[in-house]
Every structure is written in C-alpha cells, then in structure tokens.
C-alpha cells in the first residue's frame, strides 16, 4: 500500500417503515462517488446494514459529511429511517488480499 487512507464504517438498523430509503441510499452513493477524495464504497444489508466508504483524507470525510444534500439525507435518516446507527472513522493501517486463480 502506498499511502494510508481512511474508512468510514457505518452500521445501521432501519426503522420498521423505511419508505424511500433505498432510493435515497442509492442517490447518496452516487453523490459520494463524485466527491473529492472518494476511493470506493461497499454496502450490505440483512438485519443490520454495513456500509463502508473509503477516502483519501480525514478532510475529504469532513467535507462529505457537510455536503448540503448529504446533510438533508442525514436529517431524514434520523427523523424517518434509522432505529439506530453508529459511525466509526478509521485509519486503514495495513491491507492484504487473496484472489483465486479462476
């Protein structure tokens, strides 16, 4: 790995009625993609949801958090969609991977 980067781990439980959530989640993912410093995103949901977005710097994460459209989504999330969530800002210190010879 050439340089440290950052991960935002977002774990959440949705309210029983989470109308329009999927649409907003999708549009936030598209919007995140367009932000400076965005590296990638991985998202999976069963009983709980885990979304991890990767960013070049802490400043990029701060800017994304304060993005106007994202702010609105965060507000609606608290009002309508989430029963609970937790955000962890992490520094990726080391990584390794495996790929099968298909």
**Is 42 a binder of its own copies (CB under 8 A)?**
yes
**Is 100 a binder of its own copies (CB under 8 A)?**
yes
**Is 50 a binder of its own copies (CB under 8 A)?**
yes
Residue 55: HSE in the Cβ half-sphere, 13 Å Cα cutoff: 23
Distance CA 1, CA 70 (A): 30
> 31: burial class by Cβ within 10 Å (0-12, 13-18, 19+)?
middle
Total of residues contacting its own copies (CB under 8 A): 34
- Identify the residue among 2, 23, 34, 98 touching its own copies (CB under 8 A): 98
Supply the minimum distance, in Å, between the C-beta of residue 34 and its own copies. Answer: 23
- Determine the interface stretch with its own copies among 5-13, 17-25, 27-35 (rule: CB under 8 A): 5-13
- Identify the residue among 31, 45, 63, 70 touching its own copies (CB under 8 A): 45
Own/partner pairs, 67-72, CB within 8 angstroms, 24+ separation: 67/31, 67/35, 69/28, 69/31, 70/28, 70/31, 70/32
3-state secondary structure of 8: strand
**Is 68 a binder of its own copies (CB under 8 A)?**
no
Supply the minimum distance, in Å, between the C-beta of residue 25 and its own copies. Answer: 14
């Amino acid at each position: 790995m050439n340089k440290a980067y950052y991960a935002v781990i977002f774990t959440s439980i949705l309210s029983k009625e989470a109308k329009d959530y999927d649409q907003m989640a999708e549009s936030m993912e598209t919007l995140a993609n367009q932000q400076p410093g965005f590296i990638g995103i991985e998202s999976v949901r069963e009983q709980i949801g885990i979304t991890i977005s990767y960013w070049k710097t802490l400043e990029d994460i701060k800017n994304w958090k304060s993005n106007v459209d994202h702010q609105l989504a965060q507000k609606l999330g608290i009002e309508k969609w989430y029963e609970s969530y937790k955000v962890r800002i992490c520094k990726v210190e080391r990584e390794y991977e495996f790929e099968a010879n298909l």
